[in-house]
Structures are given as C-alpha cells and as structure tokens.
Amino acid sequence: VVVVGAGPAGMVLSMVLARAGIKVTLLEKESTTDERPRAAHLTPPTMRLLGRAGIADDVRRKGWTPNNFAWRKVDGTLITSIEDFAQSKNPESLVVLPLGPLGKIILDHASREDNLTIKFNHPVIIYPVDKFGWDDLNTIIHPTHRALVAKITQEGLWRVSYIEDKTLTYEEARKNAANHYTTLLPGNPNPEDVTLVDFSFYSQHQRCVEHFRVGRVLLAADAAHLCNPWGGMGLTGGFADVTGLAECFEGIHTGKADESILDKYDEVRREIFHKVISPISTANYLRVASDPDKVNVLETDPFLKTVNAAKSDPTIKQKLDDGVYAVLHDFTQYYNVKT
C-alpha cells in the first residue's frame, strides 16, 4: 500500500496497516511533519484508533484532559457548558494535544515499524486540483467578535481561533492578533501582555469529493473532505476514515474480504460526512456566528438545549457521550469470512 501525505491521518493509517503485516510506503512532499498550529482535540473515536496504532499512552502522557467546555458571550457571561465533556471515566477519553507534537510522537513510533518505509521530499501529483470541482466554496459575511478559546498544552499554552479580515497580509494579520485578544479574552489583556507563540491562517470551508474510491486510489481525511475549524470535525472525521479504511485493507490482506469492500468504504464514509460530520461542523460554525443577545439560544438551538438539560439528567449526558462515536462505522461486518 502506498500512502500519500504524512499528516497525522496518513501516518496513523500507515502504522496500523504495517502492524497488521502489510507493507506500506508513506510519501510526503515536505521535509518533515507539519508544525503549524491546527487542530488539537483528540476525541474518543480518535483515541481508539491511536490505541490500535500503539501510541495512545504516549499521547496521553504528552497531552492533557480538560473538564469543562463552555459557550460564553463576548463579555464572558456563561450561556451553558458541558461538565466532564472529555469523558474522564472512558478508557478512550478525549485528550488535547496539538498536531505538531502529536506528529512527532507518531513519526517516532512509525520510524520503528519494519513494514513501513517513510520518504520525505517525495511529492505526488495526480491531477490539477483547480480543474476538478473545488470552485463550489460558499462564503458568508462574518460577524467580528467570535472566537474559540482553548488550552492546548500541559504547560498552559492557549489557542484562540477568530475571524480576521481576509484582505490583510500574513504579517499584518499576525501583528493584529493581540488587538483581537484584547476584545475576546477574559480580562481584556493589553497587547503587550500577550505572548504570541505561533500564528496561522485557516480558510473556512465545507467540501467533499464525489468519490472516495477511483480504481486503486482511495481518499481519506483532508484528501476526501474539508471542514471549517469550529468543533474539530475535520480531524475527527479524518481519523474515522482511517479507522474504516484500515479495517478494509486488513480484511483484504487476510483474505476475509475482497476488493468490493472498498466500494462500501466509499459509499459509507461519504454518507457519514454528509449526514453526520458536515451537519455538525456547519451547526458549530453557525452557533458561534449567532448573536446570543438577540435570540434565546437555549430555546432555539437544539444542541445547546440538550447540553443544558444534560446538567441535571445523567441519561441525556450519556447520550451526548455516546454520540461522539457516530462518526465511526464497523467495516468488519462486510468480511466474507467471520471471526
């Protein structure tokens, strides 16, 4: 199997396949893993996959597990929150670890796999992206004061995602970041009180390819679909793709499935993106874009209404916890030989 792209999803897929006895070559156009600030929340379905890859324990040691997830107004007023949203009693509980350090952990483990060959500085060009359907991006006029604020390291580094003027250059936007923090962060810190460690642009989008399989080429994660950054569904969905694709390849390798299972992968993973991942991702975006002073979001937003009810009803909280696994699908049920 040849895997193109040494992002977290590509490396973990390569590791799982290699550990199953499949020879894998992993190709990456860059000289090393990506260190840019991106997603950081590794949900229970993701931690299950990292366990299969043999790296979950190291990820837990390097990352941290938060307790509370809250929705607030710009002035800090609490709207509602989820206590123990990381599911601390779940062996697969959520871990916060940015993709930069996560990538280093994965690469360290991957380099020890006998069945895995990793080749950096090896770009793969299959087709011109601008020719095949990437012109369907919908844009929305964004309100100014909107942010997702999260602690992402044990040492106390925080990530702030917010909306910026797209006409600014990279350097202009970086210089302007501290001004946003004055408005968005509790206590309204002065620009000189903020230490900016890293900065990166991220375009908002909801995209999905027409097919996840074309002949012997299979797509997963960012190669198959893209999400806006609100809620981490892109990372979660990408690892869920990898979980399913690994099951398909393992079935073929062991003779328990034929290649038709890859068509099932194509069908099911696209359906999950359109019916689960994209709707949740879009709702996350629209939720943060709404003005809580104009509408009672605890009455008009079904999800926040459920979150609020879960505070006093353990049954509802359990349904919320179980719901994070909706991104997964068991492809072993399509094996021709049952174990």
* pLDDT tens digits, one per residue of 41-58: 999 999 999 999 999 999
Name 2's bridge partners: 25
Residue-wise DSSP of 137-190:
----PPPSS-EEEEE-STT--EEEEE---TTS-HHHHHHHHHHHHHHHSTT---
Q: What's the burial of 2, exposed, middle or buried (CB within 10 Å: 0-12/13-18/19+)? A: middle
pLDDT (average), residues 28-37: 85
How much is the average pLDDT of 7-33? 95
Neighbouring CB atoms inside 10 A of 228's CB total: 20
Cα separation values, 124 from 2, 26, 206, Å: 11, 11, 24
Q: Which residue has the higher pLDDT, 171 or 241?
A: 241
pLDDT 10s digits, 195-233: 888 887 766 668 899 999 999 999 999 999 988 877 789
Q: What integer is the mean pLDDT of 95-111?
A: 93
The pLDDT of residue 155: 80
CA 148 to chain centre: 15
pLDDT of 131 higher than 50: no
Which is higher by pLDDT, 300 or 129? 300
CB 243 within 8 A of CB 92: no
Give the closest residue to 240 by CA, choosing from 45, 66, 81, 60: 45
CB atoms within 10 A of CB 307: 22
- pLDDT, one tens digit per residue, over 220-269 is 999 999 888 777 898 999 999 999 999 999 999 999 999 999 999 999 99
The residue that leads in pLDDT, 131 or 299, is: 299
Residue 74: the pLDDT is 81
Query: Could you give all domains of the chain from N- to C-terminal order, each with its CATH number?
Result: 2-139+203-334 (3.50.50.60)
| Phi, then psi, of 185 in degrees rounded to 5 | -95, 150
The whole-angstrom distance between residue 303's C-alpha and the CA centroid of its chain comes to 20
Q: Tell me the pLDDT of the chain averaged across its residues.
A: 87
Percent of the chain with pLDDT over 90: 58
Of the pLDDT bands very low, low, confident and very high (cuts 50, 70, 90), residue 163 is confident
